């Protein structure tokens, strides 16, 4: 692992790192904020998965999480959204290919060799974080935005024993029922929708997945709400099947980081309560 940049912030360290990923077969970048802490202390971890077209840098520069993480003593980890490089398959559209990994392990040509973001986020990167940083890997939570909100919900629902709490900003709650999801899952996984279900939060809950702590933040003026995000579908599935969920619809807010940064500290405080020893 190589440190590519590092800054002091709120008494802690904001770093950006690069390593050779065995999951993706490429170099991968990720950002980690480590708050001030006593020598030898082990700190809980909050994962943040980013949305379409983003890298680790979007939340690092716009998310306004460091003060809250320093206050609550939480390590904040932000991976990239896909493998990248000249030899990595791509597409001219913004919602497929590099920057749009959808947190799946692709099985279809030409995506399968490198697009293994599920394995990267669930297995490989957590191992690295636990080895290198002062992280208590028995205390993890996860959040994300848009495509990354879909990632946070699905990763968390597939691994409820690992993540103490799940939250999302403007998530794609049903990839099977949204154009963004259907396009990417068809490309990455093929046409059999049964193979898509582990990557759809509503389908996972319908198939029996449960988690005791789920929170959604959604802007009421989000231009993608009706067609792509479909928060109401998740609300209805949870109500029908008895899955507790807290959904905040915030009037006047859109899909941007102005929205995310407005409620980031609230989400970190909410996760902090559930990450206590």
pLDDT of the chain along its 277 residues, tens only?
A: 999 999 999 999 999 999 999 999 999 999 999 999 999 999 999 999 999 999 999 999 999 999 999 999 999 999 999 999 999 999 999 999 999 999 999 999 999 999 999 999 999 999 999 999 999 999 999 999 999 999 999 999 999 999 999 999 999 999 999 999 999 999 999 999 999 999 999 999 999 999 999 999 999 999 999 999 999 999 999 999 999 999 999 999 999 999 999 999 999 999 999 999 7
Cα 150-228-46 angle, rounded to 5 deg: 20
Catalytic residues: 146, 222, 255
pLDDT at 44: 98
- 175, 181 contact by CB (below 8 A): yes
- Exposure on the CB side of residue 131, measured as CA atoms within 13 A: 7
Residues 6 or more apart from 101 whose CB is under 8 A from it? 81, 82, 83, 115, 117
- Give the residue extent of every domain in the chain: 2-275
CA distance linking residue 90 with residue 79, whole number of Å: 19
CATH of domain 2-275: 3.40.50.1820
pLDDT at 277: 72
CA distance linking residue 152 with residue 142, whole number of Å: 6
- 32, 84 contact by CB (below 8 A): no
The DSSP line for 57-125 is HHHHHHS--HHHHHHHT-EEEEE-SS--STTS---SSTTSBTTB-TT-B--STTTTTT-BHHHIIIIIH
């Amino acid at each position: 692992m190589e440190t590519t940049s590092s800054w002091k912030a709120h008494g802690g360290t904001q770093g950006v790192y690069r390593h050779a990923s065995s999951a993706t077969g490429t170099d991968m970048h990720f950002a980690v904020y480590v708050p001030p802490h006593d020598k030898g202390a082990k700190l809980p971890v909050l994962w943040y998965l980013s949305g379409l077209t983003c890298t680790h840098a979007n939340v690092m520069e716009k998310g306004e999480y460091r003060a809250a993480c320093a206050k609550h003593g939480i390590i904040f980890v932000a991976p990239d959204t896909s493998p990248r490089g000249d030899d990595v398959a791509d597409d001219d559209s913004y919602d497929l290919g590099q920057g749009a990994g959808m947190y799946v392990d692709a099985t279809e040509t030409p995506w399968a060799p490198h697009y293994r973001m599920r394995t990267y986020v669930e297995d490989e990167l957590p191992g690295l974080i636990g080895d290198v940083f002062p992280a208590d890997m028995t205390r993890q939570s996860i959040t994300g935005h848009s495509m990354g909100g879909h990632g946070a919900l699905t990763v968390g629902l597939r691994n409820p024993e690992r993540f103490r709490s799940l939250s999302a900003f403007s998530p794609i709650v049903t990839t099977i029922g949204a154009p963004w999801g259907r396009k990417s899952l068809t490309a990455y996984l093929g046409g059999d929708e049964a193979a898509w279900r582990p990557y759809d939060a509503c389908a996972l809950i319908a198939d029996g997945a449960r988690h005791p702590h789920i929170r959604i933040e959604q802007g009421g003026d989000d231009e993608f709400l009706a067609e792509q995000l479909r928060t109401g579908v998740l609300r209805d599935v949870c109500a029908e099947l008895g899955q507790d969920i807290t959904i905040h619809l915030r009037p006047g807010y859109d899909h941007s980081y102005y929205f995310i940064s407005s409620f980031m500290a609230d989400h970190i405080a909410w996760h902090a309560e559930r990450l206590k020893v």
